[in-house]
Amino acid sequence: MLTPVLAGVVAAVVGFASTFVVVLAGLTAVGATPAQAASGLLTLCVVSALTMLWLAVRHRMPITVAWSTPGAALLATTAGVTGGWPAAVGAFVATGLLIVATAFVPRLGDLVAAIPHSLARAMLAGVLLPLCLAPVVALVESPEVVAPVVLTWLVLLRLAPRWAVPGALAVALAIVAATAHVRAADLVPVVTWTVPSWSLSALVGIALPLYVVTMASQNVPGVAVMSSLGYRVPWRESLAVTGLGTVAGACSGGHAVNLAAISAALAAGPAAGGDRARRWVAALSAAVTYLVLAVGSSALAAMVVAAADGLMQAAAGLALLATLGAALGEALADPAEREAAAATLVVAASGVTVLGIGAAFWALLVGLVLRAFLRTPVPGRSAPDGPVSPGGPDVSPGRTSSSAGRT
């Protein structure tokens, strides 16, 4: 019985520690104050825990839920939002509603699946690239505080890869604790409520890309990981529950929750014990651990705010490096898709805002248009030698490429 409990604790701690800095950076980038960002982190922990408890107890299955890390990275590269933080909150609500709608309108899921896999991964890689450059810049500008973080990550990556990112973040927080002043009042968890507003630019520039990356890079791979471990996830109910959770948590700062991928492998795999029928206990312990972490989320958020410039950004970049590598490999793997994928990547990485709409939307649009243009036959010209691959693998829940589960 102890084995699945420990597996769930590890899954929650690794998932939280590896990316909570990215969540704070993303919420801050779209207009949240430090208090609102801390509230968002707390909310995401609680909503993840409650939705996980519902699914695990109801289905006796180790279904794990987490926040959308690619979605947080997307927010972190957003250069302002028309309407400010209330408009961003409105976009979070819209994202949750889209996820709920996907549970009941299969056509929406089909539209996400129809996006070429190479372009979806290229968009994600472009979003991640600026964040992953942060450790390089910070190491040059502030080597005395950033070097210990990078060295810790490097050593643990060699000796204990699972703990490389949490270890690096622990060192970064230790440096903050030793060098910065944090007020006691900032350590108390507080939920901050925001009345949402809606703007077309926020809906198109935030809600739509956030929905796409959450579905394509989290929910679909999460189902694939569980399927590879012998579990059939209740797809429609999982989308409905996590979508409603996203809506419920949006006004207090949570951007999106979804089925976990990496955490799913930790809680539902052999590390959770030999008895597959008892592994659902790992999801219970993960949920309880998230509730415990929620209590300390405000303190961690306050430490991030008090950190030296570049320190926590460097830790966040290291946390996303593996995801960037996987996204690049999948985006550029097919030579027939490479030009369109490369164009998608560079537009997403540019961070441009046009008509108040962020780069992620334009990146996907440019990639789709270029791909269609390159595939349109030229009159009077024979087709190129060799087969032209179709639009990426089928990413429907039942037939997802296993490589997607590395997100």
pLDDT digits (tens, 9 = 90+) for 14-31: 888 878 988 999 999 999
Query: Domain residues for 256?
Result: 2-376
Task: Check residue 400 and give its pLDDT.
Answer: 40
Please determine, for residue 398, whether its predicted confidence score (pLDDT) is greater than 50.
Answer: no
d(CA 37, CA 389): 43
Render pLDDT for 306-355 as a digit per residue (tens, 0 to 9).
888 788 888 888 888 888 888 899 899 999 999 999 999 999 888 787 77
Close Cβ partners of 71 (under 8 Å, ≥ 6 residues apart) = 26, 95, 210, 213, 214, 218, 255, 256
Q: CA angle at residue 402 from 290 to 286, to 5 degrees?
A: 10
Residue 231 lies in a domain: yes
Domain count along the chain: 1
**What are the pLDDT digits (tens) for 69-110?**
989 989 988 877 888 999 999 999 999 999 999 999 878 777
Q: Measured between alpha carbons, how far is 221 from 131 in angstroms, rounded to an integer? A: 22
For residue 253, pLDDT over 70 is answered with yes
How confident is the model over 258-296, as pLDDT tens digits? 998 777 888 888 878 888 888 899 999 999 999 999 998
Cα separations in angstroms, 143 against 30, 125, 168, 251, 368:
29, 26, 15, 39, 41
Q: How far apart are CA 102 and CA 286, in angstroms?
A: 26
Q: Rounded CA gap, 310 and 22, in Å?
A: 13
Confirm whether 175 is domain-assigned: yes
Residue 406, pLDDT above cutoff 50: no
Q: Higher-confidence residue: 378 or 285?
A: 285
User: First-to-last CA distance in the chain?
Assistant: 29
Q: What is the pLDDT of residue 397?
A: 47
Residue 402 lies in a domain: no
* Residue where the block lists tokens 């999982």: 238
Confidence check: pLDDT of 381 > 70 = no
Q: Which bin fits 351, alpha (ψ -120 to 50), beta or left (φ > 0)?
A: left
The dihedral over CA atoms of 225, 120, 131, 74, expressed in degrees to the nearest 10, equals -90
Local confidence band at 195 (pLDDT 50, 70, 90 cut-offs): very high
Predicted local confidence at residue 57, as pLDDT: 94
Position 387 scores a pLDDT of 40
80: three-class secondary structure by DSSP: coil
Stretch 33-42: mean pLDDT = 94
Residue 116 has φ and ψ, to the nearest 5°, of: -55, 135
Give the pLDDT band of residue 395 (cuts 50, 70, 90). very low
Amino acid 91: pLDDT = 96
Does residue 6 lie in a domain region? yes
Binning pLDDT at 50, 70 and 90, where does residue 391 land?
A: very low
Asked whether residue 140 is domain-assigned, the answer is: yes
Segment 38-56 shows an average pLDDT of 96
pLDDT of 247 > 90? The answer is yes
The answer to whether residue 400 is domain-embedded is: no
Asked whether the beta carbons of 29 and 312 are under 8 A apart, the reply is no
How is residue 94 written in tokens? 């819209």
- Mean pLDDT for all residues in the chain: 85
391 found inside a domain: no
Is-contact 405 228, C-beta < 8 A? yes
Q: What is the pLDDT of residues 208-226, one digit of tens each?
A: 999 998 998 889 888 888 8
pLDDT at 376 over 50: yes
The rounded distance, in Å, linking the Cα atoms of 227 and 259 is 13
DSSP element (H, E) containing 223 = helix 220-228
Residue 390 lies in a domain: no
Please give the Cα distance from 1 to 355 (Å, whole number). Answer: 56
Mean pLDDT of 109-129: 83
According to DSSP, residue 308 is labeled P
Tokens coding 112:
């996400």
pLDDT band at 380 (very low <50, low <70, confident <90, very high): low
Rounded Cα distance between 10 and 178, Å, is 26
